[in-house]
Structures are given as C-alpha cells and as structure tokens.
Structure 1
Amino acid sequence: MDKLNLYRELIQKLLTARAKLRSKSDPVESQTIFDTTKDHYQLVHVGWKDSSTRIYGCVLHIDIKDGKIWVQHDGTEDAIADQLVSEGVPKQDIVIAYHAPHVRQYTEFAVG
C-alpha cells in the first residue's frame, strides 16, 4: 500500500476509535467527517448537554497535504500526533499546524 493510502486509513481508524470512546448514554454525539478526495478529516461533538446547552465543536482536524499529515487542531488530552508516531508515521511526515510556522522548528515534528 502506498504512503498516502496508508495515512488515509490510519487517520480514519484513529478518529473512528476516538469517536467510539463516548458513552452510549451521553447525549452529545461524536461524529467523524472524512473527505478522502480532498484529504480533510475531522472529529466533531454535536448535541445537547441539557435542555438549554448546545454542544458543537471540532475536536480534531487533520489534513493530508503534499504527502504529510497536518494536524490543524487537536482539542484532546492524548495528542493525535503521538498516536500517529506510535503507529509508525515518521515525525518528519507530521506537521503540528496549530503552532505558528516560526515555532514549528522547535518541535520534534516537520516544519511544513
């Protein structure tokens, strides 16, 4: 399998697993959004916490650009980048895009 398809499958697997972590009794649903044509992947929470508190928000947003995985947003405690590395993705293929470009050089990951 080529690298691009491997990355697509891996991202979908990890986001799907995270979506399943929510309790069945939790009124807030975790939804995965996969655009495999343009390589955009998201995990969002949507629902009502109670009768007056609407919940909607992107928890994870990942893109694949130029053969690299761009973590656009990670609102989780367990960094998705670390999970990707533990699954065999080289750090030089992961961009922590929510860090400013001039700061990325100080991370262990790719600059862009």
Structure 2
Amino acid sequence: MATVDEYRQHIQRLLSEHATLVWDSRIRAELIFDQERVGAASPKETRYQLVYVGWRDSQRVYGVVLHIDIIDGKIWVQQDGTEVGIANKLVEVGVPKHDIVLGIDPPKMRQYTEFAVG
C-alpha cells in the first residue's frame, strides 16, 4: 500500500515534468507546492499547482493548468488542463484508482468513473 509521502513525491515529479513542456519563452511555468503551511494547519491536507504566467504580445496569459490536493490520504484532482489527464499519469506511476478523486467532476457523476467518489 502506498503512503501519502509517496503520493507527494509522485505529484511533485509529475507537475515538475509538465512544467518543462511550456512551448513559449514568454510564458513562465510556476510550481506551487504548499506542504508546510497547510500541513501545519491541517496535517491531512497538502496543495500542489502548476500555473502559467506571462504575456503573448499584448495578451495576458495566466491560468492554473493543474491543481491537486491530498485530502485525508486521497489525491483530489481539482483542475486538469492537460491532454493526457494527470489522473492517468498517477495511475501509470502506481497510484490506485480508489485513491484518486476527480474533483473536477460533479459529485453525483463521480460514481460513473473508474476513480474514487470522495
């Protein structure tokens, strides 16, 4: 059985890998790993985000590409702007589907996925 520490390592590695895929030098990929502050307030929760920030000509680029939380030992995918799907990548590295919640799906629809309902 995998531990939350292993889940943290998988998430950090996958988000770091995805951050290297920025195709435009004017866009910066920012990794936000909030383990200390949230961990101190609520040791059962941690937060991870990948945010794109920059300018393309006069157009502002800002958006959360990936947002993942660990809540009570389960990985919650809160935002996923990737083509492959971060949940699929987590399964590939060994995270069981029953420990992944697709928070991006409405609660009443989660029962129809292969993943945890919450």
Q: TM (normalized to structure 2)?
A: 0.89
Task: Spell out structure 1 runs of 4+ moving beyond 3 A.
Answer: none
Matched, 1:42 2:41: no
1:96 alignment partner, one of 98, 102, 114: 102
Shift of 1:65: 0.2
The alignment-based identity, stated in percent, is: 56
Shift of 1:78: 1.2
Q: Which has the higher contact order (CA 8 A, sep 6+)?
A: 2
Match of 2:8 in 1: 8
Match of 1:107 in 2: 113
Q: What residue identity is the alignment partner of 1:33?
A: I
Matched, 1:20 2:14: no
Question: Which has more helix, going by share of residues?
Answer: 2
Matched, 1:56 2:62: yes
Distance 1:89 1:46 in 2: 30
Shift of 1:30: 0.8
Distance 1:68 1:107 in 2: 16
Superposition map of 1:64-79 within 5 A: 64-79=70-85
Match of 2:43 in 1: none
Structure 2: where are the runs of 5+ without partners? 39-45
* Residues 48-79 of structure 1: per-residue CA shift (max 9 Å, x gap): 011x1110110000000010000001011110
